[in-house]
Amino acid sequence: MQTMKPEPADNDVTLSQVLREWSPSGELPPRFQEQVWQRLARAEAPGGVTLWAIFRRWLEARANRPAVALAYVTVLLGIGVSAGYWHARVDASQTELELQARYVQAVDPFETPRP
């Protein structure tokens, strides 16, 4: 296992000296500071209270604990699996009816399938 070599202290001194001597050469656009403060004020200004914001704050407060968050995820996963299973059953039932109708028509093309 290799150990890291400590950097010489003169690098820190050199870097500090370069940083002290450096000065930016570009100019800021007009009214730059004013625009920055306006953007900060807009970002900090409270927005309108919406139903979604209230719900999100409530959910964040409740789901802050791992056990509650796990319960939410488990419930949502159960709902998703149940909805998927129900949708698959509906599709399978519809496919079965179509196959029955095709079979009846293949055996006797003049026969109409009964529902």
- 36-89 pLDDT, tens digit each: 998 888 887 776 678 888 888 888 888 788 888 888 899 999 999 999 999 999
Q: How many domains are contained in the chain? A: 1
pTM of the model: 0.40
Q: Is residue 101 assigned to a domain?
A: yes
Q: Is residue 96 assigned to a domain?
A: yes
Q: Is residue 98 assigned to a domain?
A: yes
Residue 46 to residues 42, 49, 50, 51: CA-CA distances in angstroms? 8, 8, 11, 15
Domain limits at 93?
74-109
Q: Where are the alpha helices (DSSP H) in 8-65?
A: 9-21, 32-44, 51-62
Task: Report which secondary-structure segment, H or E, holds 31.
Answer: none
Q: Is residue 78 assigned to a domain?
A: yes
